Structure formats: C-alpha cells, structure tokens
Amino acid sequence: MIAIVGAGPAGLAAAIACGKEAVILERNPMAGKKLLLSGSGQCNFTNSCDSESFLKALGEFRNWLKPAFYAFDNRAFIRLLEDAGCPVFIREDGKAFPQSRKSADVRDTLLRLALSRGATIRTACNISGISIRDGGFTLSTDDSRQFAASAIILAAGGASWPQSGSDGSSYRLAQSLGHSIIPPRPALASIRIKDYSAFCTCAGVSLKASLYFGKHCATGDLLFTHTGFSGPLILDNSRSLNAGDHIYLCLADASQISALIQNNPKKRVTSILQMLGLPQSLAMALCNKHGIPADIAATNLKAPERKALTSLLEKTPFTIVGIEGLESSMSDFGGVSLREVNAKTMQSRLIPGLYLAGESLAYSLPTGGFSIQMAVSTGYLAGKHANSV
C-alpha cells in the first residue's frame, strides 16, 4: 500500500499516477476542500503559456521544479481534464479555468480519475503520527487507527487557510521524521498601509503599476483595498515584504506631465492626472495626501508643486503596517527544505520511501495558476516514482 496523506490537487494527482496501490487519507469529510475555494470558487488551475514562459514564472524555484513540470506539464493537465469530460476555458491572459467556472468540476474530475484507476480514499482520517518500521511505515490517526504502508506521499498542504485543513500538519509530520522545516510565513497575501485614510475612497481601483521595495522592482496589476494593497503585483511579492518596510509605487508615466500641463493650462490638476490614466478617486487621493491643491488650474502650479507631483507619480511612498496572516492568505512560504528532497523523484533524501509534494514543500509561486499546476506536477511525479519501487 502507498499511503497518500491529503486529498488536495497534489494528493489526487499522486493517486492518479499510483493507481490501485494508493490509499488516500484525508482529514476532512471530503476531498479537495481548499481546491474548492481557489479562485473564489472558479479554480484557475493552470496557465496555458509556453513551457519556457511557464518555467520563467517559477522564479528562483524554476530549476528545482523543472523535472516535475516536464513529468506532467500544463498541456498534460489541460488534456487530462478535457479527456475526462471537464472542458476547459482559457482566458486571453493564459489563465485556465473549468468551462463551468466551478472548482468542484476540477476536484470531482481528479477524484473520479484516481478512483477509476484503482485508488481508494478514506475521509475524516486525520494522521497524527508516522513511525518507521522494517520495510515501511505505520501511520497513526488521532482516533487510534493505524495503517501500514510501504511508501508515503506527504501531500497534506501548507499552513495557510487552516480552516480548509491546510494547517501545517504536513510540516509537523515531516519534522517528526527528521526533516528541516522552514517556518511558514504568508505568501500571496495583501498588505495594510500606514496612514491610509486618504486612499479609502480608492477601494476597488485596479491599474498597472511598478513596485519598488529594497533593491527590487516589479511590475503588474495593483488593486487598492479599504486598508491597503492587493492584486498580483502585491500578492506575488508579499513573501518578501514585512511590516515596517517602506515601499514605493510608480502609478503613471510622469514624463508626460509637463507637456500635458503646457497643452492644457486651464485644466485642473486632477484632470491632468486622469489624462495619465489615473482614476478620479486616485487622482484626488494623491493630491489630498500630499498637499497639492486638487482644484487648482494646471498653469497655476508652482515649480516646487510641479516637481513634487512628478516625483510623486514616479515613486509614491507608502509604509507597510501589516501583512495578511496565514489564516487568510492564499498560500504560504515554508515547509520542507528543498535541499532535503530529490527533485527528480520527489523522494526524501533522508527517509527512503517518503515522498513529498505540493505545499508541503518550501517553494512559493505567483498567481495565475502556477501553484495548483505545480502541486499536481509534484504529486504526479511522486506517485509515479513511489509506484515504481
């Protein structure tokens, strides 16, 4: 028996690869609870970009995740779902969803495929301990049941959204077997901004912007919230941000402002800012926050005010007062150190017969379907090798 701990995308993909040898042990009453919540229930399960672009999006984890990606890539995932009767819709930006926009269709299809290939599943089965025995393992539950297994695939998720069952239990189980655990911190998390009251009226505004933090710069879609910022630009970089950090946003191309003022001398400053692509609410907020008269005619701006306005658009300063916590962040960065896992097989370098997949591993990926895809890819690779030994 190959015991798969967790029935999320990584565990279900592992079961599909393992077939009849697999027994999925899921702590929740149903499979894929966190998967059902993904993408606000619509499930952006992968991205259809070409292989090179996909790997590039994996950032610093590209080389380590490459074997898993090539073992079961985005094309294979899309094909698997469609061949099993779950049609796929791909947006212009490459994000792939079930055509129904219902995450349950992805979960149900993966579960049905795993069961059709001979795997079995036991729900409401919370694994509380793992011990090594001759030739295999014993898994113990919190209600005193035990399971013997020749191999284990640990795919119980990370530590974000604990209400979904992803409560860091995979980290504790791996650590009990001798693995090093990188302490989890929020990833794909929104941020709260100090002295933000001037921008509360901008909640819901979304625009392309550049983010400067430390020595880094990133560009993407920014979303204003009632308390700070979110959107891919913030989410994808949140694991590198901390409370107290000073960040800067480039909100518009300031090089055009002098020409716009010269050509439109009677327009108000806020109208000039709107001509640069800023929504009215944001134009007003920027002026109010930094003491620039919003209703003044552009031609009446004094030289210092023009300079301040240009500087403001190039790098608007903000101070982070807090990061969204693990209880509500979309993902976390932490878990089993990648140095302790063979990237070509997903097998532990410390414990033969132990495999790890998905968010139990210490990597963090951007929004856009990359996280679910790589959970499936690492799970499939783990299942493939666990079933071959």
Residue that finishes a domain, picked among 300, 323, 346: 323
Neighbours of 164 (CB within 10 A): 17
Query: Do 314 and 215 share a structural domain?
Result: yes
Identify whether residues 34 and 113 lie together within a single domain.
Answer: yes
Task: Spell out the residues 6+ positions from residue 88 whose beta carbon is closer than 8 angstroms to its own.
Answer: 78, 81, 82, 96, 97, 98, 99
Number of domains within the chain: 2
Question: Does residue 46 sit in the same domain as residue 117?
Answer: yes
Q: Print the domain residue range for 10.
A: 2-186+332-386
345 shares its domain with 365: yes
User: CB atoms < 10 A from the CB of 150, how many?
Assistant: 14
| Residue 195 and residue 239 in one domain | yes
Average pLDDT, the chain: 94
CATH number of the domain within which 257 lies: 2.40.30.10
Distance, CA of 168 to CA of 171 (rounded, Å) = 5
| Mean pLDDT, residues 149-177 | 92
348, 337 in Cβ contact below 8 A? no
Residue 299 above 90 pLDDT? Answer: no
- The Cα–Cα gap between 57 and 51 comes to 10
Q: What is the CATH number of the domain that holds 22?
A: 3.50.50.60
CA distances from 40 to 37, 43, 44, 101, 102 (A): 6, 7, 9, 10, 9
CA-wise closest residue to 116 among 22, 43, 7? 22
Please identify which residue in the block is written with the tokens 């008269």: 293
- pLDDT for the residue 46: 98
| 125 and 111 together in one domain | yes
- Cβ atoms < 10 Å from Cβ of 314: 18
- Please spell the DSSP secondary structure of 103-157, one letter per residue: HHHHHHHHHHHHHHTT-EEE-S--EEEEEEETTEEEEEETTS-EEEESEEEE---
Q: How many CB atoms lie within 10 A of CB 350?
A: 14
Same domain, 111 and 126: yes
DSSP-derived letter for residue 52 is H
Q: Strands of 88-90's sheet, edge to edge? A: 46-47, 95-98, 88-90
Same-domain check for residues 56 and 154: yes
% of the chain residues with pLDDT over 70: 100
Is the separation of the CB atoms in 362 and 335 below 8 Å?
yes
Output the CA–CA distances (angstroms, integers) from residue 91 to 97, 101, 188, in the order listed: 8, 12, 21
Q: Give residue 33's identity as a one-letter amino acid code.
A: K
- Listed in sequence order, the DSSP H helices in 302-369 are 303-314
Same domain for 108 and 7:
yes
Cα 276 to Cα 313: distance, rounded to the nearest angstrom: 10
Domain final residue pick, 272, 290, 323: 323
For the residues of 145-195, what is the DSSP string, one character each?
Answer: -EEEESEEEE----SSSGGGT-SSHHHHHHHHTT--EEEEEEES--EEETT
> What per-residue confidence (pLDDT) applies to 310?
87
Q: How confident is the model at residue 335 (pLDDT cuts 50, 70, 90)?
A: very high
Q: 75 pLDDT band (50/70/90 cuts)?
A: very high
Q: Summarize pLDDT for 171-223 with one digit per residue, the tens.
A: 999 999 999 999 999 999 999 999 999 999 999 999 999 999 999 999 999 99
pLDDT recorded at residue 29:
94
Shared domain for 160 and 255, answered yes or no, is no
Give the Cα separation of 195 and 319 in Å (integer). 8
Phi-psi region of 85 (alpha: psi -120 to 50; beta: other; left: phi over 0): left
Q: What pLDDT does residue 21 have?
A: 86
Packed helices 370-386 and 74-83: angle between N→C axes, nearest 10 degrees: 80
Looking at residue 98, its pLDDT comes to 97
Alpha-carbon Rg of the chain, whole angstroms?
A: 24
Q: Do residues 218 and 294 both lie within one domain?
A: yes
Per-residue pLDDT tens over the stretch 112-154 = 999 999 999 999 999 999 999 888 999 999 999 999 999 999 9
Question: Are residues 220 and 151 both part of a single domain?
Answer: no
Instruction: Encode burial over 241-279: b for 16+ CB neighbours within 10 A, e otherwise.
Output: beeeeebebbbbebeebeebbeeeeebbbbbbbbbeebb
State yes or no: pLDDT of 389 exceeds 70: no
Would you give the distance in Å from CA 368 to the centre of its chain? Answer: 8
pLDDT digits (tens, 9 = 90+) for 236-249: 999 999 999 999 99
Looking only at Cα atoms, what is the longest distance across the chain?
A: 84
